[in-house]
Amino acid sequence: INPTSITIITLSIIMGTIMTMSSSNWLMAWIGLELNMLAILPIISKPKTTRASEATIKYFLTQAIASAMMLLSSTTNAWQTGSWDILELKNKFSTTIMTLSLMMKMGAAPIHFWLPEVLQGTTLQTALLITTWQKLAPISLMYMISNNIQPALLMSAGILSMIVGGLGGINQTQLRKTMAYSSINNLGWTIMIMALSPNLAVMNIFIYMIMTTPIFLMMTSTSTKTLQNLTTTWTTSTATTLSIALLMLSTSGLPPFTGFLPKMLALNELITQKLTTLATLAIMTSLVSLLFYLRVTYLIMVLTS
């Protein structure tokens, strides 16, 4: 891609996200998301392989369906309430459809099926972009309407994402797919706590993004794509490989790493609200997801010792 195209694409991605995050009208938010989606398609399809083309089509179709659901929801709400304002989403049907469309845009369970496939079919830099920047706009919209969403819907989707993220990553040897399931698992925590404390949910997703970015960047610099690659990279770049291991443990939420902090605050919030069953479920699913993080770390530690 030539420099002019790259500049236009980058500006469109940034503009689309900022437009959505700063708008108070559903139509403007939708336009921002569309701009964002259309700008990232050439980036996903840049490698001239069938996998990249397949990933582009999968990404486009799921995002297009999510956008259609978003329009349906906002139109129904405007028809009922006479307002296109984001904070005026009062209709229960509209709220449910909107929540599902935002979950589909982010890649949360049960509408997560596209995320591992798209990440596997594209480059590591694009995978980083999809798992971090592309989640900002839908998360900000969910944050804005969090008071109107039924807590039961958010909590059940959150727990389901945590289970899917934990179980899905166990048998993976491809690091991009592992990171995709890691993303789904962390989204689960964010969505679940969004019902009780939206500010905590935002903090959780930001800490996740701060930890994921260096993992992808180090994987890019060492061209690490599978667990098998990890067994050879430590000979050439031991510090990088060890850093990946420690960041993986942090992402899993293992104390005393940074990733444990938002999870601990989330559990504290659940217990304060007397939702002990939900807190227990969250801890159990966290242990399942810890398995695949530990496997990567164990592999690195055994080799480097």
Full pLDDT tens readout for the chain, 305 residues: 789 999 999 999 999 999 999 999 999 999 999 999 999 999 999 998 999 999 999 999 999 999 999 999 999 999 999 999 999 998 999 999 999 999 999 999 999 999 999 999 999 999 999 999 999 999 999 999 999 999 999 999 999 999 999 999 998 889 999 999 999 999 999 999 999 999 999 999 999 999 999 999 999 999 999 988 888 888 888 889 889 999 999 999 988 899 999 999 999 999 999 999 999 999 999 999 998 899 888 888 887 76
How many structural domains is the chain composed of? 1
Q: How many CB atoms lie within 10 A of CB 228?
A: 12
- The model's pTM is 0.94
Q: Cα(37)–Cα(17) distance, rounded to whole angstroms?
A: 10
The whole domain housing 178 covers 3-302
In degrees and rounded to multiples of 5, residue 257 shows phi and psi of -75, 165
25: three-class secondary structure by DSSP = strand
How far is Cα of residue 201 from the mean position of the Cα atoms in its chain? 12
